[in-house]
Structure 1
Amino acid sequence: MATLDRRAFLRTTGLAGLALGLTACGDNGTSAGAGGGGEGKFGSVKLQLSWKKNIEFAGEYFADSKGYYKAAGFGQVELLSGGGSGTSVESGLATGRCWIGLSTPTITAPAVLQGAQLKIVGATFQKNPFAVVSLGKNPIEDPKALVGKKIGVQDSNELVWNALLKANDIDPASVTRVPFQSDPSMLTSGQLDGYVGFVTSGPVRLKMQGVDAAHFLFADHGLPLVAETFTVAQQTIDSERDKLKAFLAAEIKGWKDAIADPAKSAELAAKTYGKDLNLDVAEQTEEAKMQNELVVTPDAKANGLFSMSSELIEQNIASLAKAGLTIKAENLFDLSIIDEVHKADPSLKLS
C-alpha cells in the first residue's frame, strides 16, 4: 500500500484538503450524478475511491469485471482514483465530479458540520484499519502498554492519535511521540517501540520481510470508527433512491466475491485495475486476507455487508466526539437504504 502520510491526512483530518472544498471545481464542472448517457436504465456514474487502485477496492473490481454494475442497470461505473493531491470525495460530490464516493466519518463529518448536504449510507470496513504496530518480540498489546514507549506518529495522524489517548485516559506526556514518515526500519532498528499505521499494510509488509509483528486496533480499544464509507449527496437519497439501492446491491455482490477469493482480488488489483502501481500479488493477497477481517464482523454476518447497527452508529458518534467532532447521528448517517437492499434480497447476506 501507499505511504501513510497523504492517505492518513485525507482519511482522518481532511480539513485543509476540503477547504472544505465545497466551492472547488471538478474535472470539467459537469455533473456525473445526472446519469450522463451510457447504456442501462441508470446511465453511467462515477465512483470516487478513497485512495489509489490497490487491494482496498477489490469488491469494486469484482462488481465491474463480473458485470454486476451492468446487470444492475448501469451503463458504466467509472472508478476514479483518490489520494495524492486529488480532490476529496466530499468536494467531488459537492461539485458533481462523482456521484458516490468512498470516504470516512472523520472527513465527512467536518464537511457536514460546515454545511455540506451529505450522508453516509453504508460502510465497507466495519472497523477502521488504524493500529499501533510493534514487534512480536516486544509487543504493545493495548493502549495502556503505550506508557513509557516511543511511538512513531505522523503529524497528519495527530487527530486520531489524540483521540485514542483520550478514549483510554492516557496522558500524552506519558508517551514519547517520535516524528515518523512511515519507515518501518525505525521499528526494526529499535528507534521506535511502535508506530501508528494501517493493520492492512504495516504488519503484512513486516511479515513479508520475515519480521514477526504485533498490533492492536484502535477500533478494539475505545475508538470504533468505520471506514471506506459510501457517501452521497442528500439529493441522491431523495431523488435517486432506487438507483442508489441498485448500485449498493451490485457492490455487495462484488464484495462477497472479494471476501471469498483473496488471491483473485490481489490479481485484479495488481494486474488489471492497479497495474501501474507495481503492486506485488503475494503482498496484496495477504493484505486482502487482513482487510476481510475488517469487512466481515459478527454484525456484518447478522445484518449484511455495509450495514451498521444502531449501536455501531452511536459508537462512531462518540468516537468522533473524542476527536473533537460533535455531530448528531441523523445528520451524518442514513442506513435505511442499505437495510432496504438486504430486506429486498436476502441472498445478499453472507452465508
Structure 2
Amino acid sequence: MLLITILNFAFPADIPEKVSVQLQWKHQFEFAGFYAAKEKGFYKEAGLDVDLIEFDGVSNIIDDVLNGDVTFGITYSTLIYRYLKGDPLVMLANFLKQSPLVLVTQKQYKLPSDLRGKKVMVSDTIINDAKLMMMFKKFDMNESDFISVLPTFNLQDFIDKKVDAVTVFVTNETFQLDKRGIAYNVLDPSAYGVRFYDLNLFTSQKELREHPQRVSAFRNATIKGWKYALKHKDEMIRLILAKYNTQHKDYASLKYEADQMENMILSKLYPVGSIDPKRVKEISQTFISLGMLSPSTPLDLDPFIYNTVPDDIGLSQEESSYLNTKNVITYCSDPDWLPLSAIVQGKHIGMDADYLSILSEKIGRPFHLVPTKNWNESLRFAKEGKCDILTLAMETPKRKEYLLFTNPILNIPLVLVTGIDKGFYTNLRELADKKIGITKGYAYEELFKKINPGIKLVGVESVTKGMQMVAKGQLFGFIDNLKSIGYLIQKEYVGTLKISAKFDQNLVLGYGVRKNQPQLRSILNKAITTLNEGKIQAIENRWTSVKIENGVNHTMLLMILLVVLLLILIFYYRFRKIHAEKNALETISNIDALTELFNRRKIDQLINSEVKRITTKGRFSLILIDIDNFKNINDSYGHDVGDIILKHISIILKNNVRKKDCVGRWGGEEFLIVCPDTGKQEAARFSERIRAAIENERFEKVLNVTASFGIAEYNRENIDDTPLIRRLDKALYQSKRAGKNRASVAS
C-alpha cells in the first residue's frame, strides 16, 4: 500500500498535456475564444496545459506547426494553398466565415479599377492577398496594374497620403480612421463575390495521427471557449485589458472589434468552428484562377478537413477515438453488379453507393472507393488489407478468416434466369443435366455446390457476362439475386430472358470489415440500426422493380403491347409538340425578356381576375416596388449595370414571394406583386421582409441598393372608390417623400 502511495505521488495520474498555439497576430479580441478556454478552465478540463504564443511579426506559422515547434496554429486561407501544394496539414476549425481583410482607399477612389497606376500597400506575397487579387481580376487587373508598396503596418502612411490604398482589417484599423475623422472608402472583396475564410485553426497530419484524442479535446475546448466569449463579450474585453493588452488598446476599440468579430463569426447561421467543404473548394479554385496552382491540381480535401464525430448514434469513447484517427474510410465493392453496385468511369453507383452516402452522414466520415476490375479482385484487395471494408458481402467461413461482418443491410431472394421459351421450375432436380452459370467468388457459389451437388455450375466473371451467355444459348440458365436479374432483364433482355425459378436460399448482405478494426464494425452496426426505413425503401424503389415469371409464355402479348405503346408514344409526341409550341407563344407574350418575370400585360390580366373575384367575396392587395435612385445607377455605371441590378432584384423577388403571389415587372425600375386573399397588414409585413432582403444584398459594382414600397388593399367596399394604381402610386410617393427605403400603406 505504501508503494502504491509513493508511485501515485511520484507519477500523478492527471498531469495536463502541454500544447502550444501560435496566434496569427498580437493579443486582441480576435483570440477571445482561446482566452476564454484557458481562463475559464475549459482546456484544463480537457487535460491540457495551453500556451498561447503572440505573433512576433516574422514567424512562419504553418512551417512552425509542420516542424513541430508549436502544436497548433491559427492562420489565413493561405492554409488551403499550402495543403494543395503538398504540405501535410489538417484544418480543424474555422471561426471567421468572412475575412476582415479589405482595401482602404483615399476617398476619391471608389472602384478597384480607380487604382490603376496608384500606390497600394499590400503584403510582400500574393498568397496572403489572394482575396484582394481576385477582386482586381474581376476588373481585368493584376499586380502589374498598380504600384505595390511593402507593408509598414503603420496606418499613418495612409493618413499622410504616402499611399493611395492599404490593406487593413475592418475589425481594427477602420475604427482608428473613424476615431481620427479620416475620410476613406472601403473596397471589400466579398462585395464582389470573393469569399475567404479567416481565423483558421489547424495542425499537422502527424499530430492528428499520433495524438487524435488530444487534437479532438483541444478543438472542442476551443469551440466551447468561443461560445462563451460571444455570450460574455464585456467580461472578455475586461480580461484582455487586464491580462492580454500588449497593444495597449482601450475599451472602445476592443468593443468595436468584438462586435465586428461577432458579425463575421455568424454563430446564428453556422455552428461555431464549422467548416463548409464547398467554401474550401471555392477558395481552392480561386488560387487556381489566379495561376497560383495548376488547373490540374487535385482538389482532394477529405484528408485536409477535420471531420468531427457525430453524437446521434450512441458511439462509445473508444469508437469516437477510433474515428478521430480515420479521416477517410476506404472500401472495395463489386464493379459489375447493378442495381446493387457498379463502377462506371471510376465512379461508384447503385444501391450500395446510396447506402454508403447515408452511412457517411451518420458517422461523419467520407468513404473512398478503391477501384477494382472484378469481384474476385475486390475479395483479394480486402484480404490484403488494401481497403477497410468490403461492401455488400455475404458472410462465409472462408471470408471470416480475414473479415468481421456487420449486421445485414439486405436480404434478397436468389433466382434462376433462362430463355423466355423455357419452363418454370419448382423442382431443382429438373436442372440436373443443365449448365447453370454462377459468378465466380460469390458466396452462394460455395453454398449451391453443397446443397445442390447434381447441378452443373459454371463459374463466370460477372452477372452481366452470365446473362449474355444465357441469351446466346451458351448456358441454360444463370443464378443470381432477384434485384440484379430483374434489373438487367428490364434494361436489356425484355422478351428474351425471364425468371424461371426462385430458390429457398436468400442472399444476406452486410459489410465485411478488416479484422484489425473491430471498432469500425461496431460503429457501422450502430449506424445501420439507425437507418431510416423510408430512405431504404426509396433507394430500393429507385433502383428495382421486378416480378417473377409464372411460367406462361407472353411473347406474343408482349409484341402486341409494344406496338400499342409505340402508337401511343407517336400520338403523345405530336400532342406534346403542339402543346409546347402553344406554351412557348404564350410565354413570349406574357414574360418580360430582361427579368423573366411576368410583363405588364400579364399583370393586368391577373389584377382584372382578382377584381372580378372579389365582387362576390374576398380581398387582395397590390405591392408596387420602385428601385431608389435608379437613374443615378444608370448614369454612374451604365445601363449594362442597371440591367444586372434589375435581374438581381427580380431573383430576390422570385425567391421571396409566396406560392399564391404573382410578381411582374411593371415598367422601367418598377415591379408589382399581386397578393390574393391578403390584407394590408399582412402585405405590409411581407413587403418589409422583401425590403430588408434587397437592402442586405450585395450588388455588382453598386454594392448597396434599396427600394421603396407602396401597398394597397382592395375589397368589395373600396374597389370602386379610386383607380387601383392611383392608390398604389400615392402610397409609393409617401415612401419616397419620407426618405425612401421603406414601405407605406395606402389609407
The TM-score normalised by the length of structure 2 is 0.36
Q: Which residue of 1 aligns with 2:34?
A: 60
**Residue 82 of structure 2 aligns to which amino acid in structure 1?**
P
> CA offset at residue 181 of structure 1?
3.1
Which of 89, 100, 124 is equivalent to 1:156? 124
Q: C-alpha separation between the residues in 2 aligned to 1:251 and 1:342?
A: 22
Q: C-alpha separation between the residues in 1 aligned to 2:312 and 2:44?
A: 19
Q: Deviations over 1:48-89 (max 9, x none)?
A: 212222222111011111111122x22411112223233x33
Which of 300, 304, 308 is equivalent to 2:271? 304
**Residue 47 of structure 1 aligns to which amino acid in structure 2?**
V
Which of 46, 49, 55 is equivalent to 2:20? 46
Which of 217, 242, 250 is equivalent to 1:271? 242
Which of 71, 88, 104 is equivalent to 1:99? 71
Which of 177, 188, 194 is equivalent to 1:223? 194
Q: C-alpha separation between the residues in 1 aligned to 2:23 and 2:210?
A: 23
* Matched residue count: 297
Q: Deviations over 1:108-137 (max 9, x none)?
A: 633662x432111211222222101136x6
**Residue 47 of structure 2 aligns to which amino acid in structure 1?**
F
Q: Which has the larger radius of gyration?
A: 2
**Residue 234 of structure 1 aligns to which amino acid in structure 2?**
Q
> CA offset at residue 41 of structure 1?
7.3
Unaligned runs of 5+ in 1: 1-36, 345-351
Which of 78, 92, 96 is equivalent to 2:51? 78
Q: C-alpha separation between the residues in 1 aligned to 2:124 and 2:211?
A: 36
> CA offset at residue 304 of structure 1?
0.7
Please say which of residues 168-177 and 40-49 is displaced more in the overlay.
Answer: 168-177
More helix by share: 1
- Provide closer, same or farther for how the CA distance between residues 167 and 250 of structure 1 changes in structure 2, counting only shifts above 3 A: farther
For 2:91, what is the secondary structure of its paired residue?
strand
- Provide closer, same or farther for how the CA distance between residues 237 and 44 of structure 1 changes in structure 2, counting only shifts above 3 A: same
For 1:330, what is the secondary structure of its paired residue?
coil
Q: Deviations over 1:86-121 (max 9, x none)?
A: 3x33222223222211122315633662x4321112
- Provide closer, same or farther for how the CA distance between residues 64 and 342 of structure 1 changes in structure 2, counting only shifts above 3 A: farther
> CA offset at residue 312 of structure 1?
1.0
Q: Which residue of 2 aligns with 1:294?
A: 264
For 2:268, what is the secondary structure of its paired residue?
helix
Q: Deviations over 1:148-206 (max 9, x none)?
A: 58352235254424343224433556556566634434444555543222222221111
**Residue 66 of structure 1 aligns to which amino acid in structure 2?**
K
Identity of aligned residues (%): 20
The TM-score normalised by the length of structure 1 is 0.71
- Provide closer, same or farther for how the CA distance between residues 133 and 236 of structure 1 changes in structure 2, counting only shifts above 3 A: same
Q: Which residue of 2 aligns with 1:318?
A: 285
Q: C-alpha separation between the residues in 1 aligned to 2:116 and 2:147?
A: 7
- Provide closer, same or farther for how the CA distance between residues 220 and 256 of structure 1 changes in structure 2, counting only shifts above 3 A: farther
Q: Which residue of 1 aligns with 2:658?
A: none
Q: Deviations over 1:9-62 (max 9, x none)?
A: xxxxxxxxxxxxxxxxxxxxxxxxxxxx99747622212212222222111011
Please say which of residues 174-183 and 118-127 is displaced more in the overlay.
Answer: 174-183
Structural mapping, 1:18-57, within 5 Å:
40=14, 43-57=17-31
- Provide closer, same or farther for how the CA distance between residues 45 and 188 of structure 1 changes in structure 2, counting only shifts above 3 A: closer
Q: C-alpha separation between the residues in 2 aligned to 1:237 and 1:57?
A: 23
The structure, 1 or 2, with the larger RCO (C-alpha pairs under 8 Å, 6+ apart) is 1
Q: Which residue of 2 aligns with 1:258?
A: 229
Q: C-alpha separation between the residues in 2 aligned to 1:342 and 1:169?
A: 49
**Residue 336 of structure 1 aligns to which amino acid in structure 2?**
N
Which of 118, 124, 143 is equivalent to 2:95? 124
Q: C-alpha separation between the residues in 1 aligned to 2:73 and 2:13?
A: 21
Contact 1:143 1:221 (C-alpha < 8 Å) held by counterparts: no
Contact 1:90 1:111 (C-alpha < 8 Å) held by counterparts: no
- Provide closer, same or farther for how the CA distance between residues 70 and 203 of structure 1 changes in structure 2, counting only shifts above 3 A: same
> RMSD between aligned alpha carbons?
3.3
- Provide closer, same or farther for how the CA distance between residues 49 and 176 of structure 1 changes in structure 2, counting only shifts above 3 A: closer
Which of 48, 66, 90 is equivalent to 2:62? 90
Unaligned runs of 5+ in 2: 1-10, 315-747
> CA offset at residue 226 of structure 1?
1.1
Contact 2:109 2:115 (C-alpha < 8 Å) held by counterparts: no
